[in-house]
Amino acid sequence: MSDLTIRTAERIEPLTAETAEGAQELQRRAATPPSELGREVGAVLRLDGRVLDPNAIDYERRDDETMIINMGPQHPSTHGVLRIMLELDGEFVLRSKPVIGYLHTGMEKTGEELSYIQGATNVTRMDYLSPVINELNYSLAVEKLLGIEIPERATWIRMLMSELNRVASHLVWMATNGMDLGSTSMMIYGFRERELILAFFEKTAGLRMNLNYVRPGGVAADLADGWQDDVTVICDTIEARTYEYDELLTGQPIFRDRLVGVAPLTAEEALALGVTGPLLRSTGVPWDLRRTMPYLAYDQVDFDVIVGTYGDNFDRYAIRLNEIRESLRIVRQCVERMPAGDYRSQDPKVTPPPRARINESMEALIHHFKLFTEGFHVPVGEVYSAVESPRGELGCYIVADGTSKPYRMHVRAPSFVNLQVVPLLMRGGMMSDAITVISAVDPVMGEVDR
């Protein structure tokens, strides 16, 4: 018997050694101090001055009673290259730890090498499900540093595009969440509806994803002719189909059983862990930056902030489904009230001259050349600006040193922070609910790892 144990150990070692992340991984029970075993709970308990009750942690278990398994990085329901290490007792999750970094490409470092004009192409690849909102956030931060005003039409175009993007992002969430719960038809429907929006993006910006459409100073191009009809068709179609989703999922007993009461979160825990977005709203905190700290023209449009009651997975589902409808409401108002005028600032320091002028004016040509080789200079300063992305507060901290490249560009990614809630939500739950927890948190790994 003992021979067998030794042999397995020898076989496993070289296999894991190549992929091991050492201290980043979830450690065996024997190698973990008791205070650490209840960390997910302990972190929150410590808030109100209480100490961690040793009886609340199952620290007397031995290693041979539990099993540590890897979920991911290549697992279809982890939404990308998320790796979660789970300590299981049978079907129940005792501890868990997300191990991230598999998609880290140093985008913050790249951001320091690109000029402010090029920067939007970089940030748009972070949260690849809501590229417009990433660009918007970056552009707002740069515009704050520059101190320029953008025309009203540009503001409304930005709002229209970011709300359409929010709908597209929530549709992907509906689709993947359905897939995780075994409702594969929802997956097909979600992607089908999203295609309408992506087609409109392609018509407007030339690309379906990673648009580089919102840029410092305005947007890249005016809306295509007949855009009102396109957008109205999109709104009508998707709105009608959200009621079909209601029939397909919301009232369906199996779907409800998988979500109602699963992985509850309280408002205190959410605030302590820095959780924002639908996760925070599901706990009953009415915090939506579009309403509470308005940017663009969100203070001029009519929409509701959807808030949950129980903080469970079903609330998160209901919030996202209803946010699709609220976003469509905003989009319809944008169609009605779209002002005429310029789609980008006419400040020659920031905006390249129109194509026609380059052919006839030497100065326009020089301006164009300088803008695209050197870029515009941004005065010394630092700024933090935040917008509401489909996943929560998306922030951008830029330090400018007077040159044409940001000295430091940091993005506060909502998924990165929200991911910390996963161990807390999974603790004590079933293995099959762990899948729904990942899905409900809705991490986009491009943004988590940047």
Which positions lie near other proteins, rule CB under 8 A? 20-24, 36, 39, 43-44, 46-47, 100-101, 104, 106, 108-109, 113, 144-145, 271-276, 285, 287, 292-293, 380-386, 393, 395, 397, 399, 401, 407-408, 410, 412, 416-417, 419-420, 449-450
C-alpha span between 144 and 146 (Å, rounded): 5
Please identify, using beta-carbon distances, which residue of 175 and 417 lies nearer to other proteins. 417
Q: How far is the CB of 209 from other proteins (least distance, A)?
A: 23
Q: How far is the CB of 238 from other proteins (least distance, A)?
A: 31
Nearest to 290 by CA among 127, 382, 166: 166
Please identify, using beta-carbon distances, which residue of 104 and 349 lies nearer to other proteins. 104
Q: How far is the CB of 437 from other proteins (least distance, A)?
A: 17
Q: How far is the CB of 25 from other proteins (least distance, A)?
A: 9
Q: How far is the CB of 358 from other proteins (least distance, A)?
A: 31
Please identify, using beta-carbon distances, which residue of 111 and 151 lies nearer to other proteins. 111
Q: How far is the CB of 280 from other proteins (least distance, A)?
A: 9
C-alpha span between 384 and 411 (Å, rounded): 9
Q: How far is the CB of 146 from other proteins (least distance, A)?
A: 10
Please identify, using beta-carbon distances, which residue of 342 and 382 lies nearer to other proteins. 382
Q: What does DSSP say about strands 214-215 and 218-219: parallel, antiparallel, or unpaired?
A: antiparallel
Cβ-Cβ contacts under 8 Å for 178 (sequence gap 6 or more): 184, 185, 186, 187, 189, 190, 249
Q: How far is the CB of 421 from other proteins (least distance, A)?
A: 9
Please identify, using beta-carbon distances, which residue of 275 and 324 lies nearer to other proteins. 275
Token pair for 190: 């979600």
Please identify, using beta-carbon distances, which residue of 78 and 177 lies nearer to other proteins. 78
Residue type, 287: W
Please identify, using beta-carbon distances, which residue of 338 and 400 lies nearer to other proteins. 400
Please identify, using beta-carbon distances, which residue of 198 and 272 lies nearer to other proteins. 272
Please identify, using beta-carbon distances, which residue of 292 and 432 lies nearer to other proteins. 292
Q: How far is the CB of 68 from other proteins (least distance, A)?
A: 16
C-alpha separations of 36 from 42, 45, 70, 99, 425 in Å: 8, 13, 20, 17, 17
